[in-house]
Chains A and B, each alone.
Chain A
Amino acid sequence: DGGITQSPKYLFRKEGQNVTLSCEQNLNHDAMYWYRQDPGQGLRLIYYSQIVNDFQKGDIAEGYSVSREKKESFPLTVTSAQKNPTAFYLCASSSARDPSNQPQHFGDGTRLSIL
């Protein structure tokens, strides 16, 4: 079945450590997105990519980095510069033919906590 796979489901980070969250899709979508969700909050956009080898900062990019070397993959690195990384992270993808009206398809999320 086509879909988005995020791994791991749970992740723990030590102080000063960088961690990488994986996101893979087999929907042949051009656009991919990373969101952060805090309790009682909506989703906030961290980074997005509309094509391979290109990505743009979202509303809360500080302390995060991404790469888009392959169409199927859009990993997110939470760096030590992100002082409050505890959150639920969701990856999404959509067809970029007309990104304005395409629904985004979401993965199951990764819950990141500080040790």
Chain B
Amino acid sequence: AQKVTQAQTEISVVEKEDVTLDCVYETRDTTYYLFWYKQPPSGELVFLIRRNSFDEQNEISGRYSWNFQKSTSSFNFTITASQVVDSAVYFCALSEVNWAGSYQLTFGKGTKLSVIP
């Protein structure tokens, strides 16, 4: 079973529309961390946000906002007034202890966002 599920494979929106990228995770740990990364066409991953399991406050950074709900194991990402530069693949990731006792990031399969001018 997937530990991090991003059900939306691809999304297309017209510029200035709002868009929400979904992320559902699965873990047995009580302490864990969630991340969002952006991968533009150039290929490198860019860190966007980190959230720990004890902090359910929503966070806003400019046009970006994140909604963390432990009750539904979700960590959704909303882009307000989307722009063409937002076009990228977005990954949600979960940090938890692996079989060796070390922390490991598990990534979802990503959501490809295309913003059409």
Contact = CB atoms under 8 A, between A and B. Distances in A.
Secondary structure type dominating chain B contacts:
strand
Interface string B1-27: 000100001000000000000000000
A92 B104 CA distance: 12
A91 to B, nearest CB: 10
Interface residues of B, number: 28
Interface stretch (A16-24, A72-80, A99-107): A99-107
A43 B91 contact: yes
List of 6 A-B pairs having minimum Cβ-Cβ separation, nearest first: A42-B107, A103-B47, A106-B45, A100-B103, A109-B43, A43-B107
22 contacts: A40-B9, A42-B4, A42-B107, A43-B45, A43-B107, A44-B107, A45-B105, A48-B104, A90-B43, A99-B102, A100-B32, A100-B33, A100-B96, A100-B97, A101-B50, A101-B52, A103-B50, A104-B45, A106-B37, A106-B44, A108-B42, A108-B44
